[in-house]
Amino acid sequence: MVVPLRMGWRHLAFMNWPFDPATVAAHLPPSLEVDTYDGRAWLSIVPYLNVAVRPRGVPGTAGFSLPELNLRTYVTSDGEPGVYFFSLDAQGILGVVGARLFHHLPYYYARIEFQESSDGISFESKRLHPGERPVQFTATYGPVGEAFTAAPDSRAEFLTERYRYYTEDLDGRLRYADVSHDPWSLHEAEVTIRENTLFHANGFAPPAGDPVCYYSPGTDITATRSLSRR
């Protein structure tokens, strides 16, 4: 049994592209269904800084920090909405190994440079995981305009307010964990992507057009242990 975790997610960019639902469905486990908004599936790249990662009940000062980058989509299982991660790249070797072993998540070791300045966030990731497809991602991003909370049934809510993730274990069983946090404080985001091979590495053709982007300064998170979906 793996204990629940607490952590903070900081300086997130939600970069979202619409996709044909059938294209996304072909990449999902058969036990998951594509969740759509306005008839479109969505793939999202989310870079951010993970801080004070530790078991629940342990002081934040004892946790560790690491930058992360993930590619995800939006799904349901028996009507329960959540996200499905195609890949998660992270700086910390121990965190990557632990997430793979105990949470059944597709983490990959990467070298990531995360810099905060008055101009925003500079994020550069290079996957170094042995035997895996290389991934390069370089972007700068930051908030634009006033903060807001996503309105009910809005596209922003669909793309950000998710409180469960699904994954598969080595035996192909569907698993999930629930995530609790306050609603995101969001901004429209200004994003410049200089390099991005995440779609290609996960078997998707690079999408056309600019993404729909949001920025959040972050919030604190509690995640349950990984549970089997029966």
What pLDDT sits at residue 121? 98
Read off the pLDDT band of 39 (50, 70, 90): very high
Q: Which pLDDT score, from 0 to 100, does residue 1 have? A: 43
Higher pLDDT, 133 or 218: 218
Give me 60's structure tokens.
């934040």
The model carries a pTM of 0.93
Residue 68 · residue 88 · CB < 8 Å? yes
Half-sphere exposure of 101 (CA within 13 A, CB side): 8
| DSSP string for 202-218 | TT-PPPPSPPEEEEEEE
Measured between alpha carbons, how far apart are the two ends of the chain, in Å?
Answer: 17
On the question of pLDDT at 93 being above 80, the answer is no
Q: Are 213 and 186 in contact (CB under 8 A)?
A: no
Mean pLDDT of 95-112: 74
Residue 48, pLDDT above cutoff 50: yes
Question: Between these two residues, 73 and 102, which has the higher pLDDT value?
Answer: 73
CATH architecture, domain 5-19+44-71+86-228? Beta Barrel (2.40)
Judge whether residue 174 has pLDDT over 60: yes
Residues written for the chain: 230
Cβ contact 92:7 at 8 Å: no
* Model pLDDT, residue 62: 61
Nearest to 13 by CA among 197, 194, 160: 160
- Per-residue pLDDT at 10 exceeds 70: yes
Task: Give the DSSP H or E segment for 18.
Answer: strand 5-19
Look at residue 98 in the predicted model and tell me its pLDDT.
Answer: 60
Of 17-26, 51-60, 123-132, minimum mean pLDDT range: 51-60
DSSP per-residue string spanning 105-168: --EEEEEEEEEEETTEEEEEEEE--TTS---EEEEEEEEEEEEE-PPTTSHHHHHH---EEEEE
Q: What is the mean pLDDT of residues 43-56?
A: 87
**Cβ atoms of 182 and 163 closer than 8 Å:** no
In tens, the pLDDT along 143-172 reads 999 999 999 999 999 999 999 999 988 788
In the chain, what are the domain boundaries? 5-19+44-71+86-228
CB within 8 Å of 109: residues ≥ 6 apart: 89, 90, 91, 93, 96, 127, 128, 129
Q: What per-residue confidence (pLDDT) applies to 32?
A: 97
The arithmetic mean of pLDDT across residues 208-225, rounded, is 93
Query: Measuring CA to CA, which residue among 8, 187, 198, 189 is closest to residue 106?
Result: 198
Burial of residue 160 (CB within 10 Å: 0-12, 13-18, 19+) is: buried
Q: Is residue 207 scored above 70 in pLDDT?
A: yes
